[in-house]
A = this chain, B = another copy of it.
Amino acid sequence: MSIEIERKFLVTGAAWKRGAQGVRFRQGYLSTDTRRTVRVRTEGPRAVLTIKGPTVGVSRAEFEYEIPVDDANRMLDELCERPLIDKTRYRVEVDGAAWEVDEFHAENEGLVVAEIELTSADQAFVRPPWAGPEVSGDPRYFNANLIKHPYRTWDATGPGAPS
């Protein structure tokens, strides 16, 4: 068990992408209940099963187990809720700190989100110029919710509103 403390920002522009190498993630959910999320993910050649508790402030209990890729693909194809999340994750270094930038595809095409993992909620960090509005506590951007209300269905008058 670990405690996950993350800050999440919308990404503006494409400057962050210069030279960054991405890994394709395919992920789905066995539970999208935010009190007990269960995620199946293939990350390039490996696969993980991740269980998360409720978000309290910016932190969340997290349990992660590596599982056989064949099992993960079977769960993604046959068991997980629809649609799956399809995204490319880039690792971008900013002043020695590792950011993860997720560029979404398919039903969530157009959405690009950056996250930095911290060791304490009040840890200082350099915010790069391409990190736009913070959305850390905003449930619309939880991947589990991007299945129920994919980004492409958000309307112009109010993002997150079911279309």
Interface residues, chain A, CB within 8 Å of chain B?
1, 30-31, 33, 35-36, 38, 49, 51, 53, 61, 63, 65, 67, 70-71, 74-75, 78-81
Contacts and interface: CB of A to CB of B under 8 A. Distances in A.
A75 B63 contact: yes
Given A51-B75, A53-B79, 18 more contacts: A1-B70, A30-B31, A30-B36, A30-B51, A31-B33, A31-B38, A35-B79, A36-B79, A36-B80, A36-B81, A49-B65, A51-B79, A53-B78, A61-B74, A61-B78, A63-B71, A63-B75, A65-B65
Name the 9 nearest CB pairs between A and B, nearest first: A31-B31, A30-B36, A36-B79, A38-B38, A53-B79, A30-B38, A63-B71, A30-B31, A1-B74
A63 B75 CA distance: 9
A51 to B, nearest CB: 6
A2 to B, nearest CB: 10
Contacts of A33: 31
19 contacts: A1-B70, A30-B31, A30-B36, A30-B38, A31-B31, A31-B38, A35-B79, A36-B79, A36-B81, A38-B38, A49-B65, A51-B75, A51-B79, A61-B78, A61-B79, A63-B67, A63-B71, A65-B65, A65-B67
A81 B80 CA distance: 19
Contacts of A53: 78-79
A76 to B, nearest CB: 11
